């Protein structure tokens, strides 16, 4: 891949750092590579890390198609406390007992989530109601009814239990909110839960192991610009 190809139309895989919004990443690519258009095939929560598919130029037309594939995540639930955002974006708003929770119960509840079901999005999400994002209404303290979406959880694997932490790996459909899974998982345990770590490993056929980091992508673009300048100078000598 060359810088010119990025300008004209490319699919870029980038490993998003924590505390970067999806918009931050799109803006960074736009400022570095200067393509005519930039977009992404699937947002990622600011505190989450992992794979984002960035589309440039003519490839932005494939946004919906590339976002349609299943997603794979790894992460950690914190059991015994909830937050309004279902992650660490908001402070703990309630605590719950955990003494009754056994490893067997955790495995049993995880198994019960596998399949298709209607999921309620988090208050703090990019979903829209009457054209307004949920998170904007939530920040203003407005009360509103959230619309459930039909989703599928294909794999729900518990990989470590060290209460209050529970590590997991999931494979899910497009539009699935892992933060909502954390909240609902806590409720089914007759407790509470929120996400303290989340990483997207895969989206469709694309894997984070093949992705640029912000640093390596920046280095690549700067090197491409340097090579272009050197070629231009040699042609004029």
Give pLDDT tens digits for 142-163: 776 778 889 999 999 999 999 9
The β-bridge relationship of strands 49-56 and 11-16 is: antiparallel
The β-bridge relationship of strands 81-83 and 71-79 is: unpaired
CATH number of 71-202: 3.30.2350.10
What pLDDT score does 159 carry? 99
What pLDDT score does 102 carry? 98
What pLDDT score does 224 carry? 87
What pLDDT score does 124 carry? 74
What pLDDT score does 2 carry? 87
The rounded distance, in Å, linking the Cα atoms of 190 and 178 is 19
What stretches in the chain show pLDDT beneath 50?
Answer: none
What pLDDT score does 132 carry? 73
Nearest Cα neighbor of 45 from 211, 194, 216, 164 is: 194
What pLDDT score does 236 carry? 54
Cβ neighbours of residue 130 closer than 8 Å, sequence gap 6 or more:
none
Q: Would you say domain 3-68+205-235 falls under CATH 3.30.2350.10? A: yes
The β-bridge relationship of strands 193-203 and 49-56 is: parallel
Q: What is the pTM of this model?
A: 0.91
Cβ atoms of 54 and 15 closer than 8 Å: no
The rounded distance, in Å, linking the Cα atoms of 13 and 29 is 11
- For the annotated catalytic residues, the residue numbers are 45
What pLDDT score does 58 carry? 94
Domain boundaries, the chain: 3-68+205-235, 71-202
């Amino acid at each position: 891949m060359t810088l010119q190809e990025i300008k004209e139309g490319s699919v870029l895989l980038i490993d998003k750092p924590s505390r970067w919004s999806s918009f931050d990443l799109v803006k960074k690519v736009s400022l570095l590579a200067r393509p005519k258009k930039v977009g992404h095939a699937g947002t990622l929560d600011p505190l989450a890390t992992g794979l984002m598919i960035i589309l440039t130029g003519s490839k932005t037309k494939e946004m919906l198609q590339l976002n349609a594939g299943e997603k794979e995540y790894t992460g950690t639930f914190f059991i015994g406390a909830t937050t309004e955002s279902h992650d660490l974006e908001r402070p703990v708003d309630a605590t719950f007992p955990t003494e009754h929770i056994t490893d067997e119960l955790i495995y049993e509840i995880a198994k019960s989530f596998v399949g298709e079901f209607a999921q309620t999005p988090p208050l703090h999400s990019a979903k829209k109601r009457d054209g307004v994002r949920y998170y904007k209404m939530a920040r203003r303290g407005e009360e509103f009814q959230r619309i459930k979406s039909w989703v599928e959880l294909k794999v729900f694997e518990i990989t470590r239990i060290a209460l209050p932490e529970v590590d997991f790996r999931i494979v899910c459909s497009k539009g699935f909110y892992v933060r909502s899974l954390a909240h609902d998982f806590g409720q089914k345990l007759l407790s509470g839960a929120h996400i303290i770590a989340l990483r997207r490993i895969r989206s469709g056929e694309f894997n984070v192991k093949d992705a640029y980091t912000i640093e390596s992508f920046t280095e690549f673009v700067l090197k491409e610009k340097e090579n272009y300048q050197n070629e231009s100078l040699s042609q004029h000598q």
